[in-house]
A = this chain, B = another copy of it.
Amino acid sequence: MDDLIKGDRVVIKENISLGKNVILENDVYIDSGAIIRDHVHIKRGTYIGSQCILGEYTGDFFRDRTVRSHPLVIGEESVIRSGTIIYGDTTIGSHFQTGHRATIREKNQIGHHVRIGTLSDIQHSCQIGNYVNLHSNVFLGEETEIEDYVWLFPGVTVTNDPTPPSNIIQGVKIQSYASIAAKALLLPGVTICSHSLVGAGAVVTKNVPEKAVVVGNPAKIVADIDEIQSRDTKSNAYPWPLHFSRGMPWETVGFEEWLKEQQTDDECGRNGR
């Protein structure tokens, strides 16, 4: 516990291992059996679940069992559920949430209000925007890029090697508001354009155009999102932000009003995206 910097009202439960150069800000809670290795900075109000391992060793540790500096920063008001493993050289925004036993490797950039579900496995060097939701058991190959407001549902797999095994990495790009349904498989180098919908179980071998709906193996365009009706209301189900707002920044004002505000901000040069 050398060099521990500890804020007020920090709770540290039993059977914890704490490394060097750890910063625990105010109201951080470390639950029983967690392991915090060196150079981990946990911001205000964040909960670290039982049996989590933070700042997990990268490959260089095993060469000579010397810990090098690979800082990990986890933002404010986050909930890291039990058994999650996060490596160093990674910065994560505020209001982050994980399910149980998620694994997040090194050199990842993760925005604010991101959720990464139970058993999801994020390889190194990915970029994940804000308000991105990865459900259970999502696999992201290295160098995946995900913009804001994207959904990946249970069992989605994102690959990156076009001729495996090889030394070529062609990361997938997923643009804002895209929704990738359960167990879809995205092949190396494809771009999933904004507001598109990849159907459950689809095997995506080509780029998916904006607002397109693709299904099948290999995936083919079968509709435009404007043609998909909600089973409940029998009105348009997409674009989804018009009908779904839980946990989204437009939760109080609605998507259209919120979007106008964003554009106003753009013109004023303030909060634009």
CB contact between A165 and one of B85, B154, B244 (< 8 Å): that residue: B244
Residue among A35, A218, A243 having the largest count of chain B Cβ atoms under 10 Å? A35
Residues facing B in A170-198 (CB within 8 A) are 170, 179, 181-183, 185, 187, 189
Cα of A215 to Cα of B118 in the assembled complex, Å: 29
- Interface 9-residue window, one of A47-55, A253-261, A265-273: A47-55
Contact B103 A79 (CB under 8 A): no
Q: How far is the CB of A64 from chain B (nearest CB, A)?
A: 11
CB contact between A17 and one of B14, B155, B238 (< 8 Å): that residue: B14
- Interface 9-residue window, one of A68-76, A106-114, A224-232: A224-232
Interface residue A126 (Cβ < 8 Å from any Cβ of B): no
Residue of B nearest to A154 (CB): B139
Which chain B positions have C-beta within 8 A of A170?
A: 231
Contact A103 B100 (CB under 8 A): yes
Count of chain A residues near B, Cβ 8 A = 72
Cα of A119 to Cα of B62 in the assembled complex, Å: 20
Cα of A56 to Cα of B182 in the assembled complex, Å: 26
Contact B151 A159 (CB under 8 A): no
A13-B17, A50-B35, A203-B200 given as contacts; is B243 within 8 A of A166 (CB)?
yes
Which chain B positions have C-beta within 8 A of A168?
A: 230-232
Which chain B positions have C-beta within 8 A of A230?
A: 162-163, 166, 168
Which chain B positions have C-beta within 8 A of A154?
A: 121, 139, 141, 157, 159
Question: A residues bordering B, Cβ < 8 Å?
Answer: 11, 13-15, 17, 29, 32-33, 35, 47, 50-51, 53, 56, 62, 65, 79, 82-83, 85, 99-101, 103, 118-119, 121, 123, 133, 136-137, 139, 141, 151, 153-155, 157, 159, 161-168, 170, 179, 181-183, 185, 187, 189, 200-201, 203, 215-218, 228, 230-232, 237-238, 240, 243-244, 246
22 contacts between A and B (CB under 8 A): A14-B17, A15-B33, A17-B32, A17-B33, A17-B50, A56-B82, A83-B83, A83-B85, A101-B101, A101-B103, A121-B136, A133-B165, A163-B240, A164-B182, A164-B240, A166-B244, A167-B243, A167-B246, A168-B230, A170-B231, A189-B231, A215-B218
